[in-house]
Chains A and B, each alone.
Chain A
């Protein structure tokens, strides 16, 4: 069924009165009476889900699927930590251990962290933030999800085929991943699932870019687009740069394995290190494909809970662009120890990324500075992100230095570093976003007390897990080993890390209880429970089929705030120079003696 969508109607702002005049969260279109013009009539039940092209249904499907994979992968991490808790542990055999760390990394990085952000949250939130009725290509969007589900299933179920799952680590270095060292259908399924999910990501990237370029509501200029959507635009472009390279690399590896080519094998004149070049040309932008959406989430949350506009909006946009551009030129800092890469070039560009990232931190702190801070669950998780990512980032600066990297490469120091970066972003900021937008998606609140318990257990468990890993790495423990000697002196630190991992696992019980409580005893959320400023808070919770029946005038990056707080409204709050000059002159004109 195809629906022709007309523009929403305009709601003019009313007289100053603030949110008190209209209830706690300001008001939205439901105050203007029901509007059934855009009601959706389609299939019902499971057919409704299978045939849906609504970005909100697809976004929720992405989120649920990726969260299920996150918990499966998290369970694998607990088994890995169980194995390492004791030097003589035989919880799993070595082959199973290799499969577990490979699949843990693969599920987390390829199937949870990215898809949760650009397939889940972005799919749901970006069209709402820019005032669009849907993504630009709804059927392509649905196809993205089905490719992702197919690829995810293929990778997850590769455990049950003969020979087991892939066991060469999530980076699949040649020649370990060739047909001699890694025979079996599990490895092939791993490679093919990357092909399917890679195309899924590319289609989502195309959709995000086209939606933000072409479907912005009237008045929603590029410099009024909320930072989360800006970051998703840049993420979409990074996806278009990175994923085709991964696809090409995977196809060539598959050809080496099955069709007699020798692209990565020395015996036939190939170059094994080429895999590393191709993989990391995808892999390092991928780190920022995973990070930028989560930066965007936090950048939308901090102003809402500081009751201030974002400090340095344009600085944030340019910092995001700089990070994206630099991230594409630093791939070989993962390859310092190969001895065949240009150390000063990659080291310098890697150091430079610290500058725009520092600008972001400065702006986040600047936004909170002098604000009316309230530490509700989304804000707490955002604070957790700031601390976790800062630690991960600082150790990243250390690793950008070749001499330090030579000493710590392939040790637990690196494992601790990237877990701090990735858990900081995908878990702390990801759940910040989930707690923040859950009321919008489902029209009901999550429990604050349970949310805060979730945060504190996660936060404590996170540090207890990963600080010992830095230390054990500095004492020389290599990554990807299933066993070590009691005389190595690594036992206590590993025990501590395992206790931390158990605390992290325990923290998610509060999350599950919270979800169940929210469904059994729903507390209605209203349209705008956090008094947010972006356009998604203007429509109902959950939004109607094509998102908006009415729109406010869009004169800043906070149109809903402007509408609900006309006494604070200021056109172009980050605005252009001419306008600011006009504002500065205005009092003089008014106060000039006649």
Chain B
């Protein structure tokens, strides 16, 4: 966590520095804002990781001497298969096509999207196929 947080924070600080230099050299606002946004993208999660790195037990993946036995037990629950990503993707496809071919596609997109979101949430809660 410490390494991850450090490199995110360092990248963020780099963007902040060149962003400030860029602003006072060019007074161009689009580039300045994008550089500041990138700086926050590094500093916010980087700072968060560094804050937690001081307070939590290191992950097994961060321990140089950790053995597989140290990480024994359940890693996590991974879905073996799920139809919902496909239906959500199909819904997103129809939703974007709505902008080109008309609103008549919107109900199909909404039905697919909603059913997929509900299905995925229920699947997660039940821990199995819905």
Q: What residues of chain A have their CB less than 8 Å away from a CB belonging to chain B?
A: 1-10, 40-43, 48, 50-54, 130, 133-134, 138-140, 142-143, 145-147, 149-150, 153-154, 185, 188-189, 192-193, 195-196, 199, 213-223, 237, 240-241, 245, 254, 258, 274, 277-278, 281, 321, 324-325, 328-329, 331-332, 341-342, 345, 349, 545-546, 551, 553, 555, 572
* Alpha-carbon distance between A134 and B79 when the two chains are bound, in angstroms: 10
What are 22 pairs between A and B in contact, CB < 8 Å?
A1-B129, A3-B79, A7-B72, A9-B68, A42-B80, A48-B81, A51-B83, A53-B81, A139-B85, A140-B85, A146-B90, A149-B89, A213-B1, A213-B4, A216-B61, A217-B61, A218-B67, A241-B38, A321-B7, A324-B11, A325-B15, A572-B64
Taking CB atoms, residues of chain A closer than 8 Å to B3 are 221-223
Q: Are A281 and B31 closer than 8 Å at their CB atoms?
A: yes
Known A-B contacts A51-B83, A133-B75; A196 and B64 likewise in contact (beta carbons under 8 Å): no
Q: A3-B78, A546-B78 are in contact. Are A221 and B85 (CB under 8 A)?
A: no
Q: Which of B25, B41, B75, B92 contacts A240 (CB 8 A)?
A: B41
Tell me, in angstroms, the Cα distance from A329 to B31 when the chains sit together: 9
Q: How far is the CA of A552 from the CA of B74 in the complex (A)?
A: 18
**Set A48, A133, A147, A555: member contacting B92, Cβ < 8 A:** A147
Q: Which A residues lie within 8 Å of B14 (CB)? A: 325
B56 within 8 A of A: no
Contacts of A545 in B (CB 8 A): 80
| Interface residues in B90-130 (C-beta closer than 8 Å to A) | 90, 92-93, 96-97, 99-101, 120, 123, 127-129
- B51 located at the interface, meaning its Cβ lies under 8 Å from any Cβ of chain A in the complex: no
The smallest C-beta distance from A5 to any residue of chain B, in angstroms, reads: 5
- Of chain B, the residue at the smallest CB distance from A200 is B89
Are A345's CB and B26's CB within 8 A? yes
Given A53-B82, A147-B92, A241-B38: A6 touches B74 (CB 8 Å cut-off) = yes
- Binary CB contact string for chain B from 46 to 81 against chain A (1 if under 8 A, 0 otherwise): 000000000000011111111111111111111111
Say how far A191's CB is from chain B's closest CB, in angstroms. 9
- A241-B100 in contact given A53-B80, A325-B14 (Cβ < 8 Å): no
Q: A221-B62, A321-B7 are in contact. Are A1 and B88 (CB under 8 A)?
A: no
* Assembled-state Cα–Cα distance A278/B33 (Å): 11
Contact between B26 and A139 (Cβ–Cβ < 8 Å)?
A: no
CA distance A47 to B71 in the complex (A): 34
Residues from chain B with Cβ under 8 Å of A10 in the complex: 67-69
Q: How far is the CB of A338 from the nearest CB of chain B, in Å?
A: 12
Question: Which 10 A-B pairs give the minimum distances between C-beta atoms?
Answer: A146-B89, A216-B61, A150-B93, A142-B85, A218-B60, A10-B68, A218-B66, A218-B71, A143-B85, A42-B81
Chain B residues near A551 (CB-CB < 8 A):
68
B104 shortest CB reach to chain A, Å? 15
* Docked CA distance A216–B22 (Å): 38
Are B30 and A278 in contact, CB atoms less than 8 angstroms apart? yes
5 further contact pairs, Cβ within 8 A, besides A192-B96, A277-B30, A321-B10: A7-B75, A42-B81, A150-B96, A188-B99, A219-B65
Least CB distance from A270 to B in Å reads: 12
Chain B residue with the shortest CB-CB distance to A3:
B80
**In the assembled complex, B9 has its CB within 8 A of some CB on chain A:** no
Residues on B with beta carbons closer than 8 Å to the beta carbon of A223? 3
**B92 and A150 contact, CB distance less than 8 A:** yes
Contact B78 A222 (CB under 8 A): no
Across the interface, do B73 and A7 meet the contact criterion of CB distance under 8 Å? yes
Which one, A52, A192, A245, A341, contacts B99 given CB within 8 A?
Answer: A192
A40: chain B residues at CB < 8 Å are 80
* Residue from the set B28, B67, B70, B82 with the largest chain A CB neighbour count within 10 Å: B82
Distance of A43 Cα from B60 Cα, bound (Å): 34
A139 and B79 form a contact (CB under 8 A): yes
Contacts of A149 in B (CB 8 A): 89
- Which of B8, B41, B70, B71: most chain A Cβ within 10 A? B71
* Complex: A221 Cα to B1 Cα, angstroms: 10
The residue from B8, B83, B96 contacting A196, defined by CB atoms under 8 A apart: B96
* Contact residue among A6, A254, A278 (Cβ-Cβ distance under 8 Å from B73): A6
Docked-complex contact B61 and A218, CB < 8 angstroms: yes
Please give me the residue from chain B that is nearest to A134 by CB atom. B78
Query: With a CB–CB cut-off of 8 A, which chain B residues contact A258?
Result: 99
- With contact pairs A8-B68, A222-B62 given, residues A241 and B96 touching in the complex (Cβ less than 8 Å): no
**Contact of B43 with A by CB under 8 A:** no
In the complex, chain A residues whose CB is within 8 Å of the CB of B67: 10, 218-219, 553
Interface-centre pick from A1, A332, A546 (highest chain B CB count, 10 A): A1
Q: Once the chains bind, are B129 and A50 in contact (CB under 8 Å)? A: no
Query: Which residues of A sit under 8 angstroms from B127, Cβ to Cβ?
Result: 2
Q: Given the interface contacts A53-B79, A53-B85, A192-B96, does A1 sit within 8 Å of B128 by beta carbon?
A: yes
B61 touching A342 by the CB < 8 A rule? no
Give every chain B residue within 8 A of A54 (Cβ-Cβ): 80
| Choice from A130, A138, A145, A277 contacting B78 with Cβ under 8 Å | A138
* B24–chain A nearest beta-carbon distance, Å: 11
Residues A329 and B35 in contact in the complex (CB < 8 Å), given A192-B99, A345-B26 = yes
Using Cβ atoms and an 8 Å threshold, which residues of chain A touch B30?
Answer: 274, 277-278, 281
Q: Which residue of A lies closest to B31 (CB)?
A: A277
